[in-house]
């Protein structure tokens, strides 16, 4: 019987929440009446998370497990989960019980009936300290402006996707925050949003600090550059190189023309190398040449693909496509 819903859950040191989360998902899916699978991706946990996953697999084989050899980050966990997912609609959620499985039926309906490629959760009312909420609002505002995607909460872990979306994209580094942006430049532009409930953290503490906002901004610049110039790096570096070399060339021509003019009219002549502007022209020519070389190297590297995260998997339960 084909699987209708896949739920990918990356986790790191969440042994307390796993049994409760799995029970919550089970009750929700029973009410929904859809065939489902849950892919619990253990991102190198140091506690008993994998043992809890094994227990859930024994109770219900719909709960499958993938274990990494060490902590590789949320993006790697999501990427391997996307590759393994078999459902027609693929959900992601966090394992800390802050995302509610009760939102799954409505988000699935939006995918099926309203034709969205992707539906992102929006935690309008958050149970987080102000040190997280204010930077998060600024982060989301900047991302909206740059990406052109009108979502209020890009970093919400609760999202729903058509199967073809997750099979078309690759998530690496720390790009999980920008999956809607990645999906958009792969041609999946029907992106919706649903206001979802946000639960207070029940166990443990957050795995992310203030550095995630700094890294997030750098990742946003990176993904914007990649989206525009991944297949044509020479267009970026070549354009800068052309402008820089042209500037250096014009300065050089002007210096030579000035010297020839003064010699022809018996005027006092200053050596070219005694003029600071000569060194500006020289630097411009050198930098422009280096930019061109960077563009050529970029063109040579465009065929390389991101590192395959399958090699990090050391254990799996009920999962064939890893």
pLDDT digits (tens, 9 = 90+) for 242-272: 999 999 999 999 988 988 888 888 888 888 7
State residue 309's pLDDT score.
Answer: 58
Cα(165)–Cα(90) distance, rounded to whole angstroms?
9
Q: How confident is the model at residue 28 (pLDDT cuts 50, 70, 90)?
A: very high
Superfamily of domain 5-230+307-317: Spore Coat Polysaccharide Biosynthesis Protein SpsA; Chain A (3.90.550.10)
Q: Could you list the beta-strand ranges (E) of the chain.
A: 5-11, 36-42, 63-68, 89-92, 118-122, 159-162, 191-195, 313-317
The encoded tokens of residue 285 equal 């020519």
Cα(135)–Cα(133) distance, rounded to whole angstroms?
6
State residue 268's pLDDT score.
Answer: 86
Answer yes or no: are the C-beta atoms of 215 and 176 closer than 8 Å: no
The ranges assigned to domains in the chain are 5-230+307-317, 233-301
Region 129-150: what's the mean pLDDT?
A: 81
Task: Tell me the helices (H) and strands (E) count for the chain, helix number first.
Answer: 10, 8
State residue 211's pLDDT score.
Answer: 62
Cα(254)–Cα(103) distance, rounded to whole angstroms?
68
């Amino acid at each position: 019987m084909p699987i209708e819903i896949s739920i990918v859950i990356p986790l790191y040191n969440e042994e307390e929440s796993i049994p409760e989360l799995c029970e919550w998902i089970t009750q929700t899916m029973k009410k929904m009446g859809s065939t489902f699978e849950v892919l619990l991706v253990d991102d190198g946990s140091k506690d008993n998370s994998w043992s809890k996953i094994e227990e859930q697999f024994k109770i219900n084989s719909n709960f499958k497990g993938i274990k990494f050899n060490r902590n590789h980050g949320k993006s790697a966990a999501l990427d391997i989960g996307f590759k393994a997912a078999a459902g027609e609609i693929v959900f992601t959620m966090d394992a800390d019980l802050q995302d509610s499985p009760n939102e799954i039926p409505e988000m699935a309906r939006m995918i099926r009936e309203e034709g969205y490629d992707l539906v992102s959760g929006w935690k309008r009312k958050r149970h987080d300290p102000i040190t997280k909420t204010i930077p998060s609002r600024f982060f989301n505002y900047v991302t909206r402006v740059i990406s052109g995607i009108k979502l209020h909460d890009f970093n919400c872990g609760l999202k729903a996707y058509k199967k073809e979306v997750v099979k078309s994209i690759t998530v690496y580094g720390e790009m999980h925050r920008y999956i809607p942006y990645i999906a958009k430049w792969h041609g999946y532009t029907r992106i919706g949003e649903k206001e979802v409930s946000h639960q207070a953290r029940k166990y443990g503490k957050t795995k992310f600090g203030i550095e995630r906002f700094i890294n997030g901004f750098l990742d946003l610049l990176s993904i914007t550059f990649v989206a525009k110039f991944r297949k044509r790096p020479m267009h970026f570096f070549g354009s800068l190189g052309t402008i820089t070399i042209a500037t250096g060339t014009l300065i050089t021509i002007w210096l030579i023309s000035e010297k020839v003019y003064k010699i022809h009219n018996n005027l006092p002549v200053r050596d070219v190398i005694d003029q600071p502007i000569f060194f500006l022209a020289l630097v411009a020519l050198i930098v422009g040449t280096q930019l061109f070389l960077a563009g050529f190297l970029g063109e040579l590297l465009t065929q390389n693909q991101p590192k395959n995260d399958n090699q990090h998997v050391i254990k799996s339960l009920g999962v064939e496509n890893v």
